[in-house]
Each structure stands twice: as structure tokens, then as C-alpha cells.
Chain A
Amino acid sequence: MTTLIRLENVNKHYGSFQALNNINLEIKEGEVVCVIGPSGSGKSTMIRCINLLEQYDADGKITVENMSVQKGKDLKQVRAEVGMVFQNFNLFPHLTILQNIMLAPLRVRRMSQEQAETLALSLLGKVGIAEQARKYPAQLSGGQQQRVAIARALAMEPKALLFDEPTSALDPEMVGEVLDVIRKLADTGVTMIIVTHEMGFARQVADRVIFMDCGQIVEQGTPTELFDNPKEVRTRNFLKAVLNH
């Protein structure tokens, strides 16, 4: 399998504080990777560097499909290939659900109005809320909004999807419906990097789990390796803390 995303010696400083410390990572096409770790460990920072929402230090290198992730003309292409789903959904409140999903295909992919609408409706069907198409985001529940956000990211037909704690802002009874959608996506062969605190979910969907602490990747492996047989003390302590919760 070919490598889709590659991070080499990626560092990130906020002033003198180092949020990422020598990150090296390869994500293969079709792989589903879950990222876990304590708060402040740099999980969000790492995945936000992949589509350059954060600028990483100049000595590092990130590529997506062999395109370098940096300011310039390729950036648009990179962002078109890498979708993102945020903790707080970040839907556009002044647009209907349908318009939210159609915007990028229309503007970036230059689809026709009909094409974009057909695509949007079929995606809404996939995430199970086709009947809400004409409503505005504020009229939907949190779980529904996050499913719209996933459909919006999918509308660009990206090679990879980044999730930053997609269920953390949801009421507990809505977590399941969103995880179900992501699980189904995993089966379709989309490459995904998922930052999550849902250990059970990570164990189910991930091909690989990464544990981060203090801006570093401390340990990685298959879910069985990492959850059942962690090698590092820090990993063990973290898992003990969250699983006893």
C-alpha cells in the first residue's frame, strides 16, 4: 500500500513552548489511525498541521500524496484532498444544511448547481438526515449537526479525513449515532486520522493507535498491542486513568 500522508521531523513552537517534538509518521492509503493521549499532549496541533491550519516549524516536512504541505499554490489542492471534522462542528449558520454541503463543491471543484445538489443529497442520505436538507444548522441537534459536518467534508471527495474529537461536544445519547457514521466510513476505505477519547471505539475501528504525550509520539501499534500490552509506562498510566473512569 502506498503512503498517503508523511510527517518528517515535525516540530511546533508557540514562542518558547514546544507543542510538537520531532513527530515522524506515515499514514498509508485506506488506513484508519486513532490518536489518543492526555489533554495538552499535542493531538490537535499535530492533525491541524496536516492541512496547515497550524504552521509547523521550518525544519520539518509534511507531504500529502507527495505534495508538500506549505503556503503556495499546492495548498488548495492539499486541502481539497484532506477533509476535516471539528469538535464544534463549525457549520455555516447562515446557510441551509444543503448549502453548507454544496458550497465547497461549487466553489472549489467548480461543480454545476445540479451536480452539487445531487451529491449533497446523496451524502445526507448516507449520514441519515436527508429530510433535514432545507433546515438551518441551529434547528438541528448536536449529533445531527456533526453528521452534516461529516457530509460537508465528504462532499469534496477527499482522500483523507481528519477528525478532532468529533464526539466531545455532544450529549452522551448522541455520541453513538456519530460514531456509527464514522465506523461505516471506515469500511468504505477512506483514510482517516481520528483524535478521540472513546477508547472502545478506537479499539473497534482503528488499524493503528497512536499514543501521544508532551508533544511526542510515545508509542504506536495495533489496538490489541497498544491497549492490551502497552510497553511504555506513560501509556500504561494513561490507559489506567481513562479506563478506570
Chain B
Amino acid sequence: MRRTLAFATLIILLLAYPLTSFAQSGTDKEIIVGANIGNVPWEFQDTNGEFIGFEIDLVKEAAKRLNREIKILNVPFNGLFSAVQSGRIDIAISSIGITEKRLESMSFTQPYYDSDQSLTTVKGNGINSLEDLKGQIVAVDTGSTGDMWATANQQKYGFAEIRRYEGLAPAMLDVAIGRVKGYISDIPALLYYTKDKPNLEVVERIPTGGRYALMMAKNKPLVSEVNAVISTLKEEGFINALHKKWFGVPAEPTTSTVEIVDMPSANNGNLLNFFDTFLNKQVFLQTYPMLIAGLITTIQLGLLSIISGLVLGLILSLIRLYAAKPLQAIVKVYIDIFRSIPLLVLLIIIFYALPFIGLNLSPFSAAAVSLTLVSGAYTAEIFRAGIEAIPKGQFEASEALGLGYRHMMGDVILPQAIKIVIPPLTNNCINVIKDTALASVVAMPDLLKQATQAQAVAANPTPLIAAAVIYLMFLLPLVLWVSKLEKRYKKEGAK
């Protein structure tokens, strides 16, 4: 077991490595920029699908000054760190704040914007300041500055829970529904976002003193080249003009939007090698309690969904096979629909749409319900196939003996069907456990979510690797067990 694990880890790393150090991002001419598109007003899409925004304008101008082509890729915020470290992109933009942690493994240019965090709520929901959030649930973006601030201040303000979303849109949707009472995030984005939405309000500035800069791989020559260009652009007043363009007013003269400042440098910045990046022991030790918490959630969600999916599937399959014709038809429609609907879509409908008809489920319940509905449909088909594989004579012998339906199924048919359905059922269980990761979109802290958050906070992908190893550790034995069973049944069948 141990050796298989080590081997599996090695394979992952071998697969990941070429994408990292050896990958040449862009040609010498082309600069590849990764941006979390949708982060207004920094980088988003206009109605023609063009990428626009403060930072888009900035990197385009910088590339022009360096005489280089530019290509912009849409990368989610959490993916930006690995993307830079692996060399898939040269520059990351997304109102990324400079932090000590991030400086340990990344380089930043000088900042061009001084920011704070903010609290946004729905008007008239009774929340007018951070103090009002005592005992309430708050929303943040996974791994963002707001996340770090809220985590550090959870005790002080007595937040009941911090829900981590994958961006502004889903977080604000839940604020609007009222499931969370406030959203803590970068103030410029929220001022821009609420500008034309009279029911939303930024009620408090949270002074965190964040400063945004362009993020790049550690100590690449490009960093100082771009940094020099930024100095020039500040001198020329270009960046302040961008401020006026996107925020309507010029920046204060003492801010980093106007003044040239030093490039930030790490206190203990070493060039990180492969192991420091992907198998960083320190990062692992710091983050594994989070991973364990995530693992527990994943297992709870997985087990609950698997068990209720089994019960639902068994009932559905029996209805499908033996109930009155109209009931059979209804169940068939159910099974067909839930086997074709993407789980993610179902999850989003159940979590974000059902509140409008008064059904307000927690992230865990929403995830469990979605997984159960889908798993039940698949399980029903597996059970049906298993029951139909039992020879007709077994049913007839039971009937001839006078066994009732319940005893015929319970004592004769199902015990035989179970053996047939164990391999496909186990495969289904593996899928359910893997699908729990989709619950990230409804802000549920499962293993993958915790790992992404830890990755963003530590600015290091080690937690992701650790999460992959954890998934392997309990899924691989199941996978191996199923293939063994299948092989054995095949042999028995051949006899």
C-alpha cells in the first residue's frame, strides 16, 4: 500500500513538473497575463466580450512600452498562484495584495493602488457595521485578503461562520438572498459593483492597508523591467489617469497610484526549488489541520450522500420494476433527468434558486441533497440491472413457495443481486466522493475547498498536492478492490 502511494505521488509530480519549471510561457516577445475576469473594475468583459478594466489597461500599456505582444487568459483567483509558479503565465493581475507570505514565494512589482477591505450588505437588512455581524454568517472570496482578515478577526467580531465563495457574483447572490448577511472584500471592486445597484450598500471601510501590484514568478528579470515601466507610467501621470477613468476621481497624491515606491522584497526570500514549491514541509505542517477539517466534511458529505443515495436508488428501482405503470413512467423520467443533468447545475439550482420559493438549505444540505438525487438515479439503474440479471426461475420458485413480495425480494432476489451490483455500486461511491469537491461552489468547506484556500493563503501549491494524496489514499484502495472483484466474478462467470 505504502509503495503504491509513493508511486502515485511520484506520477503526479512527474506529470506536474513539466508544466512547471520547464514550461516556457510565451515566446520572448509575448507576455502572458492571467486575470480573474469578472473582478470589476480591474478586469472584466464588456458586452463585446473584450477584456477591459484598470489592470488590463495597465498591463497592455506596460507591454507596449516593453515592445512585447500580450495575451490575456482568464484564470480563477485561486489558480493564479500555481499558474505563475508553473510558468504558465508571466504576470498575474486581479487586485492581488502584497503580503509577507506571498513574497516568500512570489515577486511583486511596486504597488499602484492602496486599498482597504469593505463590508457590503443589502440595504435595510439591519447590518450597518461590523459590530452588527455578531453571530451572523459572512461571505468572503476563498483565500483573498478579505478571507485572511475575516479569519483573523472572527473571534473579535463574533462571526458565526465564514463562507468562502469562488468570486464576487455567487457571494453577492447569497447576500441578496439573505443567506449570508455581509460580504467582506476589496473596497474598490465593491464601490464599483454597487454603483448601479441601489439595494446594495458598502457600509464600512475596513482598514487593512492592502496594496495591489503585479505578481510574477520569483526573481525573474521581467519583474524589474516591468517595475521600471510602472515608475515611468507614474511619472507621466498615466496610472492616475486610469484611476480617474475607472473610479471617476483622481487618486490622493500620497498614494502609491501617484508616488513611485520601492519594489517590495521578501525578508527571507530564497529562490524556491521544486521541493520547496510542491512539497513544502513547513506549509504542509501549517495547513494540514485545515485539510483534516476539510477531509472530515468530505467524508461526512460523501457517506451521507452514498447511504441516502442507496436507499433512494433501491426504492426507485423497485418502483421502476414492479409498481403500477404510471408510477414506473414517472420514475423512469426521474432517472433519465437526474442522470443527464450536470451535478454542478443541479447544485446551483438547489442552492441559489430554491430560496426564491422559500426553501433555504445550508451548503451542506444543498450538497447532500444534490448528490443524493443524482446518486439515487444511478444507483436505481444499477439495482435494476442487478435484479434483472437474476433468472426468472428464482422469482417463480419463491412465488410457488408462497413467499410474499417482501420475503421474495429480501431473502431471495436482493441477496443475489447485491453480489452483481457491488462493483458498479463501488464505482458510483467513488464518483460521489469525488463529486463532493463540486460543493466548493456553494461555499462548503470540503477537502478541495480547504486545500485551495490554504494554497492561496500560503501562496504555495503544497496543500493541493497533499489533498490529492489524501483523495488517493482512500479512493485508490476502493478502485483496486473493485477491479479485483470484477476479475474474480469474471472468472467465476467463466466456469
Interface residue stretch chosen among A20-28, A80-88, A179-187, A201-209: A80-88
Instruction: Please count the residue pairs between chain A and chain B whose beta carbons lie under 8 angstroms apart in the complex.
Output: 60
Given contacts A92-B412, A94-B415, A103-B411, is CB(A108)–CB(B402) below 8 Å?
A: yes
Q: Are B401 and A156 in contact (CB under 8 A)?
A: yes
Q: Are B416 and A79 in contact (CB under 8 A)?
A: no
Given contacts A103-B411, A107-B407, A107-B411, is CB(A90)–CB(B397) below 8 Å?
A: yes
B399 CB within 8 Å of chain A:
yes
Given contacts A53-B396, A90-B394, A90-B396, is CB(A104)–CB(B415) below 8 Å?
A: no
Given contacts A90-B394, A103-B411, is CB(A83)–CB(B400) below 8 Å?
A: yes
B404 CB within 8 Å of chain A:
yes
On chain B, the residues within 8 Å of A84 by CB distance are 396-397, 400
Nearest CB on A from B414, distance (A): 10
Using C-beta atoms within 8 Å of the partner chain, give the interface range for chain B.
Answer: 10 to 19
**Chain A residue at smallest Cβ distance from B410:** A107
Query: Which parts of B381-440 form the interface with A (CB within 8 Å)?
Result: 391, 393-394, 396-397, 399-404, 407, 411-412, 415-416, 419
Q: Are B397 and A86 in contact (CB under 8 A)?
A: yes
On chain A, the residues within 8 Å of B393 by CB distance are 86, 88, 90
Given contacts A90-B394, A92-B412, A94-B416, is CB(A79)–CB(B399) below 8 Å?
A: yes
Q: Which of B391, B401, B403, B407 has the most CB of A within 10 A?
A: B401
Interface string of A45-58 (1 = CB under 8 A from B): 00000010100000
Q: Are A79 and B400 in contact (CB under 8 A)?
A: yes
Query: Which parts of B126-170 form the interface with A (CB within 8 Å)?
Result: none
* Bound Cα distance from A92 to B417, whole angstroms: 12
Q: Are B402 and A79 in contact (CB under 8 A)?
A: yes
* Bound Cα distance from A83 to B391, whole angstroms: 20
Query: Which parts of A113-132 form the interface with B (CB within 8 Å)?
Result: none
* Bound Cα distance from A152 to B398, whole angstroms: 11
* Bound Cα distance from A150 to B388, whole angstroms: 26
B400 in complex: contacting residue of A51, A92, A94, CB < 8 Å:
A51
On chain B, the residues within 8 Å of A88 by CB distance are 393
* Bound Cα distance from A88 to B404, whole angstroms: 22
On chain A, the residues within 8 Å of B397 by CB distance are 84, 86, 90-92
A76 CB within 8 Å of chain B:
yes
On chain A, the residues within 8 Å of B415 by CB distance are 94
A103 in complex: contacting residue of B391, B399, B403, B419, CB < 8 Å:
B403
A93 CB within 8 Å of chain B:
yes
* Bound Cα distance from A153 to B404, whole angstroms: 16
On chain B, the residues within 8 Å of A80 by CB distance are 402
Nearest CB on B from A114, distance (A): 19
On chain A, the residues within 8 Å of B412 by CB distance are 92, 103
On chain A, the residues within 8 Å of B416 by CB distance are 92-94
Q: Are B399 and A104 in contact (CB under 8 A)?
A: no
On chain A, the residues within 8 Å of B391 by CB distance are 90
Q: Are B401 and A79 in contact (CB under 8 A)?
A: yes
Q: Are A104 and B396 in contact (CB under 8 A)?
A: no
Q: Are B401 and A103 in contact (CB under 8 A)?
A: yes
* Bound Cα distance from A165 to B451, whole angstroms: 67
On chain B, the residues within 8 Å of A93 by CB distance are 416
Q: Are B402 and A53 in contact (CB under 8 A)?
A: no
Nearest CB on A from B305, distance (A): 29
Nearest CB on B from A73, distance (A): 11
Nearest CB on B from A191, distance (A): 16
Given contacts A92-B394, A93-B416, is CB(A152)–CB(B401) below 8 Å?
A: yes
Q: Are A107 and B403 in contact (CB under 8 A)?
A: yes
Query: Which parts of B358-399 form the interface with A (CB within 8 Å)?
Result: 391, 393-394, 396-397, 399
On chain B, the residues within 8 Å of A77 by CB distance are 402
On chain A, the residues within 8 Å of B401 by CB distance are 79, 83, 103-104, 108, 152-153, 156
Sample (26) of A-B pairs whose CB atoms are under 8 Å apart: A51-B400, A53-B396, A76-B402, A77-B402, A79-B399, A79-B400, A79-B401, A79-B402, A80-B402, A82-B400, A83-B400, A86-B396, A88-B393, A91-B397, A92-B394, A93-B416, A94-B415, A103-B407, A104-B402, A107-B404, A108-B402, A108-B403, A108-B404, A108-B407, A153-B400, A153-B401
In the A-B complex, list the 5 residue pairs whose CB atoms are closest, starting with the nearest: A79-B402, A90-B393, A90-B397, A84-B400, A104-B401
What is the interface of chain B, defined by CB distance below 8 A to chain A? 391, 393-394, 396-397, 399-404, 407, 411-412, 415-416, 419
Using A79-B400, A82-B400 as known contacts, list a sample of 16 further A-B pairs with CB atoms less than 8 Å apart, ordered by residue number in A: A51-B400, A79-B401, A79-B402, A84-B400, A86-B396, A86-B400, A92-B412, A92-B416, A103-B401, A103-B412, A104-B401, A104-B402, A107-B404, A108-B402, A153-B400, A156-B401
